[in-house]
């Protein structure tokens, strides 16, 4: 039996969008249990130095990340909300945090992950009737970690308006 590695990511959690969480709870409960609805900002294979990334987060200029999301899109068993329009702010934050030119990463919100869920035509139609295109301003970046395929846990949280810095869920 092979062991699953520890994974880390910089993530933008989607807060205050109950219909999306309700949909995920119903149609992909395993993924919903592992991690809340989110947009991955930096994946573990992109980050060479997590302490340096954390330091860059502390020094980041204030300002949220505005993204627009479209109707649900299906690719076999994957169901997600694609980002529409400009991703410039997202791209700039990624480049700043990683300290270099980075590969393009299309921001999206996964509704059903094919690793532990299945999407049908009926589920796609239900998603399209329940979840309409919307804009969202992300005001916090979380550094998260998953060990052995378990639940993702927050290591540090950083406010993008710099009124508060969070660590381990406690405001400082």
Count: domains in the chain: 1
Tens digits of residue pLDDT in 70-84 = 999 999 999 999 999
- Contact (CB, 8 A) for 93 and 65: yes
For all residues of the chain together, what is the average pLDDT? Answer: 89
57 three-state secondary structure? helix
| CATH code at position 114 | 3.90.1140.10
Q: Is residue 2 part of a domain?
A: no
* pLDDT cut 90: percent of the chain above it: 76
Examine the pLDDT at 168 and tell me if it is beyond 80: no
Residue 5 CB: number of other CB atoms within 10 A? Answer: 11
Q: Is residue 1 part of a domain?
A: no
Q: What is the mean pLDDT of residues 89-102?
A: 89
Q: Is residue 24 part of a domain?
A: yes
**Domain that residue 103 falls in:** 7-171
pLDDT computed for residue 170 by the predictor: 35
Q: Is residue 62 part of a domain?
A: yes
pLDDT computed for residue 151 by the predictor: 97
pLDDT computed for residue 58 by the predictor: 86
d(CA 90, CA 105): 9
Tens digits of residue pLDDT in 10-69 = 999 999 899 999 999 999 999 999 999 999 999 999 998 999 999 998 887 778 999 999
**Entry pTM:** 0.89
Examine the pLDDT at 110 and tell me if it is beyond 70: yes
Q: Is residue 101 part of a domain?
A: yes
- Contact (CB, 8 A) for 31 and 113: yes
């Amino acid at each position: 039996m092979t062991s699953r590695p520890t994974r880390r990511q910089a993530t933008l959690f989607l807060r205050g969008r109950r219909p999306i969480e309700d949909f995920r709870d119903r149609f992909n409960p395993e993924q919903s249990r592992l991690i809340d609805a989110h947009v991955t900002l930096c994946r573990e294979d992109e980050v060479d130095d997590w302490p340096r990334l954390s330091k860059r987060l502390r020094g980041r200029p204030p300002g949220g990340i505005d993204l627009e999301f479209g109707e649900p899109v299906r690719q076999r068993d994957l169901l997600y909300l694609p980002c529409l329009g400009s991703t410039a702010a997202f791209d700039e934050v990624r480049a700043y945090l990683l300290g270099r030119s980075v590969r393009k990463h299309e921001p999206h919100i996964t509704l059903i992950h094919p690793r532990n869920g299945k999407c049908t035509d009926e589920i796609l139609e239900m998603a399209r009737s329940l979840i309409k295109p919307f804009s969202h301003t992300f005001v916090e970046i979380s550094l998260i970690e998953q060990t052995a395929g378990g639940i993702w846990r927050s290591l540090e949280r950083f406010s993008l308006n710099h009124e508060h810095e969070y660590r381990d869920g406690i405001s400082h």
